[in-house]
Every structure is written in structure tokens, then in C-alpha cells.
Structure 1
Amino acid sequence: MGKIKSGVLRTGRRWLTRLLIAVIGLWLAGIIIFAFLPVPFSAVMAERQISAWLRGDFSWVAHSSWVSRDGIAPWMPLAVIAAEDQKFPQHWGFDVEAIESVLDKENGRLRGASTISQQTAKNLFLWDGRSWVRKGLEAGLTLGLEGVWSKRRILTVYLNIAEFGDGIFGVEAASQHYFHKPASRLTMAEAALLAAVLPNPLRFRVDAPSAYVRQRQAWIMRQMRQLGGVGFIQRQHL
């Protein structure tokens, strides 16, 4: 019995190792391929879609429409940088000060937001939720994105896969759904409103903004002006 159990364990470890190597290979291939090609869907989109099917909702569809960076009004990348990650052009994927501020040292749990690079890695390749395992994988993938992609590419992919509402993924789908126009025509106020719901797009709504969302929109617009407006995006080649 001991030999049989030992053999089963060895076989299990062997297959687990192969599975991990295959997954890592897929991630590496994705980082290289999506440095040039449009992203058809993200892991978070797939997770949401599968969850809908499992609960019997076959009418739910993850709406997304890829658009190039030139097809996005410069107000939108400025808005997400102002709202989510003002050090984005300078850091190498991680904001050390932000990491220290979101770590609850009393119980060791994670809380708070990540950089745009980290959010792109998580949304594209990983599952939703918080855990040390996921954060560890996210860190490795973030280094991969920062090493292979330009900052402009990271921002482009982020804006195309970010969740802006129930079933609404990417700035083009969000702009068409909420404002009935392409993302290239978004105004400063509209871009700030979209960025205002990003902390929790399933709780905060673009089409029915709460007082908090409106306050956050106004704060984001002030930050956008302080950064220097769209000139900031042009100077940083984003």
C-alpha cells in the first residue's frame, strides 16, 4: 500500500508540475502576443461569463469592443491615471508607498487598490478577488508586462479590458452604452465619471451616479487639471 500511495503522489506531483509549466507558458505567450495584437477577452470577462452561465443566466453577455489607443480621447487615460495611479509613468509596476499604505499590519490582510500595471495583469490573466496567492502571481505577471510592453501599451490594454458596469468591459463599450458615442469623443467630465466608478463598477453606476461618485468625479477632474491636462499625456507619450 505504501508503494502504491507513494507512486500516486509522485504521479500527482508530476502532473501538477506539468500543469503549472503549461499555465506559465500560456501567460508568457499572452504577454508576447498581446504586446502587438488586440485582446479578444480577459480572464475577468471569462469569469463573469462562466458565472452567469452557472447560475442559469444565458442572456448575460460580456460586452467588449477593442479600440486602438488613437481611438480613445486623451481625457480617458488622463482620468484613470489621475484617479488610480498618478505615478504610473515613473514606476516599474509597483508603487512602494501605496503598497505600504494598503497593507493592514494588524492582521496582515490586503486592502486598497493596485497600480494600473497590476490591475492590467490581474484583469487579463487572473481571477477576481483578494488573496496572497493571487497577489504573488499578479506581481510576477506585472513584471512581465513592464518588461515587454511600453507604458502606452499597458494603458491601452487596461482601458480596453477594464470593467465599467455589469457586462460592460472596455472604454469603447462603456462610451457607446452610457454616452451613445465612440470613446474618441469622450469629454473631460465623461472620462472622469467613467474613472470614478472603477474602484467598484458593480456597486457604483455611471448611469445613476451617487453623491459619492459625483464627488469623486469632481476630485478626479481637479487632479486632471493639476497634472496638466491632456498635455501631460502627450509629454509622457501615453
Structure 2
Amino acid sequence: MDGSANEARITAAEFRSDAGTVAWRVTATGPQAVFRAEALAQAASLVEPVVEAADRLGILADIDVRPEGVVVYVPDRDFGGIPAAAIEFAAAVSTAAARLGLEPDPARIQSVGIYVAQHSATDARPFFAAALGYEDLGVGDAVDPLRRGPQLAFNPISGDVPRRGRTHFDVSVPADQARVRVDAALAAGGRLADDSHAPAWWSLASPDNHGVDIAAWSDDVGD
């Protein structure tokens, strides 16, 4: 798979409607699944089946192996939609995980981004890309070439004061986990800054007024 425009794509709803994707969720950066493990060797045992399925189906997958578990991603590399073959890939990975005794844990699925709010006359993306070693993604984002760090989004604020940076974190979680995450942040000393967009997202502030948006990423409706 080369991420070309000719590749068949599907929506998040189409991906999630298949029985083989029950352990998976789609967030802002694409489909992913988390499988719990008790040791690094157990988590690593899933790598070979993931590689086999990815090669067979032409999926450019990411694998994050930790002693506590393994995360498998189908990263969104061009905002073009999910590869149609991701359904079969997800089913194959889930089957292999079950065979290896790795239990899915959808509650741990998330993607974290940083939302750089900038004055309408400013283009901050070149600076951040250079400082972080990132690459441009689409018309307004930047991404770690190896997708290790959080994705950056750059959006202008009309009427804001020049030279004042206003940056916050975007935390994308499955829709059924969003309210849990919001409540936990509030209980930990956070403040609800804006819930006018709920249940799509909640804007929270830390005790010293740093911003975090918790986004309920609904992957069961059409795009």
C-alpha cells in the first residue's frame, strides 16, 4: 500500500460495522486496538502475526510494544479515509491476539494532539516543524515522521492579539470513554471551561489554566 488516491477507502462507520473490528476504535489518527499483556515477551508475540497480515493485505501498520501491552494502529497518513483492507487486517490481528491470550482493552485507546492556536496573520507551522523535526501533513497539520509524538494542528484565531500564543492539548478518545475522562480530569482539580460543544468535545482547564479538549471520537456514524 502506498497511500495513493486510487486506493479503496472506507469511513469509520463502515470499518466499525464489521464484526471483526469489535476490539478496535477509530480516533483522530485512524483505527487502533490495545491488547493487554503481562510481560514484554507476551506482547511481542503479536508482532509476527501483525506483520504477516499487514504484508498480505498491503496495510502500513504501526506497532507499539510495551510490557503492559501492545497497540496496533492503521495510521491516517493523508486524511483520505481508512483503507478498505483495514477491516480484514483488524480481524486477523484480533484473532491472533485471542490465540496468544492477549485481551483487548478498548478503554485505553486514545490519540493525543496539540492544537496550536495562532494569530490569523501568523504561520507557526514551519517553526514547530523545524524545532520538533516534524513534517507537514495536509494543509494545516504537522506530524512526527515516525508518528511517535503527538500530531500538531495549526488554526488561526481571528481578532486575537498578535504575538500571543494560545496552545492546548486535544485528547481524542472513543465516544463511550469521553465522559469518564472528563469526570476524572475534573475530579483531579480541573475546571470546565466550555461544554457548549458537548458531547462532541469538552474544553477543560488545569488549576493553572492550561487547556485540554477531550473529544468524543464517534466512529459509528457516517463521515
Please classify the TM superposition score into its range, dividing by the shorter chain length.
under 0.3
Q: Normalising by structure 2, what TM-score?
A: 0.28
Is the strand fraction higher in 1 or 2? 2
Rg larger in structure = 1
